Amino acid sequence: MTDQPTPQYSPATLAVSAGRPPAGPGSAMNEPVWLTSTYGADGPYDYGRTGNPTWDAFETALGALEGGAALVYSAGMAAVAAAVSLVPDGGTVVAPTSAYTGTTALLREAAERGRLVLREVDLTDTDAVVALLPGAAMLIVETPTNPLLDVADLPGLLAAARQSGVLVVVDNTFATPLGQRPLEHGADVVVHSVTKYLSGHSDVILGATVTRDDEAGRALHERLRAHRRLSGSIAGPSEVWLALRGLRTLALRVERAQANATELARRLQEHPVVSRVRHPSLPQDPGHDRARKQMLGFGSIVAVEVGGDADRAERVAAGTRLWVHATSLGGVESTLERRRRHPLEPDDVPVDLLRLSVGVEDVEDLWADLDQALRGSDA
Ligand SMILES: *Cc1c(COP(=O)(O)O)cnc(C)c1O
């Protein structure tokens, strides 16, 4: 069993200290990897699909950061699927037009076979979202939005959803609990792709849900836990151990990556090859004011457009040496990708948009490499 965190600590401290075994003479600093499928009868654990002390350590740490009770899963998509399982048959789900492509695919497939009714909406249009809420079972929120980096009015959406009795799921992968804590605003379920910032080293696929520590939240937690046990969407203990090791440095990584992203966004605006830069740190950005009001920091994803020319964007992605041309985000390594490569990416995403996941390397090295790739991108 792991130590309970002390809630008055700041998030940066909780990331380091929560979920450790109790300190004492000869105690281990870290919860070990419990590689076991079963446990002696009559103890706190019985079978490996039901519980594992390595999961508990990670869940205690993430729960402390989000301010709720966490469950870890085999992937972010397993966490999304678990959250969607809370929708009753035939219930209506209000979801962003430009959600994570896996979430969109999962919801559309479920809608096609009649499992649920799907209403897609631009999440930054608060009035349009609110108009769809009466009678809905679930609202799914992603903010900042991917990949256009606009910011939804999270407190406003949550207040409206509560009034309509709609369950709200917030995918907090982009912001991380250091950027926003949706449960504090009344969200019902936070989901994470732990694959991204929380683990932070591009070496595991994992997911998580977090629910509030009140009666309604605890009931959801038990339903989600049962879903994980019965669907078998459980995480390997070794991967969870790696994720917890990564989580320990979350504050350092996020702080450095955000500083790099803010500086690169500022410089990219002046670049002759670049036609538009999106990052909430930029004062003219659509999400700037809301980000300042409701988030801590502006995140480390930057979107860059290169004059409407998709081929040029591909040449930029192929022309970097330090930046890795790859999908995914949130690792210590900087990566970039033209998003419209993916058929599910909606039409409002420009064809020449490159999504940059800014890592923790030296900002001058990142800039020099990006600059040479942009300058060398003429046909
Ligand atoms: C990557 C991602 C997911 C899916 O997570 P996996 O770990 O790849 O299954 C869900 N939501 C967002 C916002 C993501 O970036």
CATH number at 242 reads 3.40.640.10
**Residue 81 lies inside a defined structural domain of this protein:** yes
Percentage of the chain exceeding pLDDT 90: 95
Position 344 confidence tier, pLDDT thresholds 50, 70, 90 = confident
Say whether both 159 and 275 belong to one domain: no
Say whether both 162 and 282 belong to one domain: no
Say whether both 61 and 171 belong to one domain: yes
Say whether both 131 and 213 belong to one domain: yes
Percentage of the chain exceeding pLDDT 70: 98
173 in ligand 1 pocket by Cβ < 6 Å?
yes
Residue 277 corresponds to which tokens in the numbers above?
């830069």
Query: Which sign, positive or negative, has the C-alpha torsion 175, 177, 183, 186?
Result: negative
C-alpha span between 379 and 3 (Å, rounded): 59
239 Cβ neighbours under 8 A, 6+ residues apart? 204, 205, 206
Say whether both 150 and 262 belong to one domain: no
Say whether both 233 and 269 belong to one domain: no
**Residue 87 lies inside a defined structural domain of this protein:** yes
Pairing of strands 189-193, 117-121: unpaired
For the chain, the farthest-separated pair of C-alpha atoms sits apart, in whole angstroms, at 69
205 in ligand 1 pocket by Cβ < 6 Å?
yes
- The preferred substitution site among 72, 193, 198, 335 for testing ligand 1, maximizing ligand atoms within 8 Å of CB, is 193
Peptide bond into 44 cis (omega under 30): no
207 in ligand 1 pocket by Cβ < 6 Å?
yes
- The preferred substitution site among 74, 174, 191, 196 for testing ligand 1, maximizing ligand atoms within 8 Å of CB, is 196
Say whether both 218 and 112 belong to one domain: yes
Find out whether 47 and 150 touch, Cβ atoms under 8 Å. no
**Residue 3 lies inside a defined structural domain of this protein:** no
Q: What is the pTM of this model?
A: 0.96
Question: How far, CA to CA in Å, does 283 sit from each of 129, 279, 330, 347?
Answer: 25, 9, 24, 25
Residue 71, strand partner residues: 209
Beta strands in the chain (DSSP E): 69-73, 92-96, 117-121, 138-142, 167-171, 189-193, 207-211, 276-278, 301-305, 324-325, 335-338, 353-357
239 in ligand 1 pocket by Cβ < 6 Å?
no
Residue-level pLDDT at 251 = 98
Peptide bond into 177 cis (omega under 30): no
Q: Which range of residues forms the domain containing residue 191?
A: 11-247
Residue 61 corresponds to which tokens in the numbers above?
């740490």
355 in ligand 1 pocket by Cβ < 6 Å?
no
Distance 195 CA to ligand 1 centre (A): 7
Say whether both 41 and 142 belong to one domain: yes
- Domains held by the chain: number: 2
**Residue 206 lies inside a defined structural domain of this protein:** yes
Say whether both 291 and 204 belong to one domain: no
Say whether both 101 and 192 belong to one domain: yes
Pairing of strands 167-171, 353-357: unpaired
Distance 76 CA to ligand 1 centre (A): 5
Domain end residue (candidates: 214, 247, 280): 247
Q: What is the mean pLDDT of residues 339-347?
A: 92
- The preferred substitution site among 72, 73, 77 for testing ligand 1, maximizing ligand atoms within 8 Å of CB, is 77
Strand-by-strand arrangement of the 189-193 sheet: 69-73, 207-211, 189-193, 167-171, 138-142, 92-96, 117-121
C-alpha span between 87 and 51 (Å, rounded): 25
Say whether both 184 and 256 belong to one domain: no
Residue-level pLDDT at 4 = 59
**Residue 300 lies inside a defined structural domain of this protein:** yes
With a cut of 70, say whether residue 48 has pLDDT above it: yes
Position 229 confidence tier, pLDDT thresholds 50, 70, 90 = very high
Q: What is the mean pLDDT of residues 215-224?
A: 98
With a cut of 90, say whether residue 1 has pLDDT above it: no
- Long-range contacts, 253-256 (Cβ 8 Å, 24+): 253/197, 253/200, 253/332, 253/360, 254/176, 254/178, 254/179, 254/197, 254/297, 254/300, 255/297, 256/360
With a cut of 60, say whether residue 109 has pLDDT above it: yes
**Residue 5 lies inside a defined structural domain of this protein:** no
104 in ligand 1 pocket by Cβ < 6 Å?
no
With a cut of 50, say whether residue 13 has pLDDT above it: yes
3-state secondary structure of 73: strand
With a cut of 60, say whether residue 118 has pLDDT above it: yes
**pLDDT tens readout for residues 319-338:** 999 999 999 999 999 999 99
Cα angle 101-65-253, degrees, rounded to a multiple of 5: 70
Q: Tokens 């900087």 identify what position?
A: 334
Q: Give the catalytic positions in this structure.
A: 49, 100, 171, 196
Distance 328 CA to ligand 1 centre (A): 8
Domain end residue (candidates: 247, 280, 297): 247
Domain end residue (candidates: 230, 247, 264): 247
**Residue 6 lies inside a defined structural domain of this protein:** no
C-alpha span between 237 and 242 (Å, rounded): 9
Position 5 confidence tier, pLDDT thresholds 50, 70, 90 = low
357 in ligand 1 pocket by Cβ < 6 Å?
no
Mean per-residue pLDDT over the chain, rounded: 96
Distance 26 CA to ligand 1 centre (A): 39
Q: Which of 56, 124, 105 is nearest to 285 (CA)?
A: 124
Amino acid letter at 169?
V
100 in ligand 1 pocket by Cβ < 6 Å?
yes
Say whether both 289 and 233 belong to one domain: no
With a cut of 70, say whether residue 90 has pLDDT above it: yes
With a cut of 80, say whether residue 316 has pLDDT above it: yes
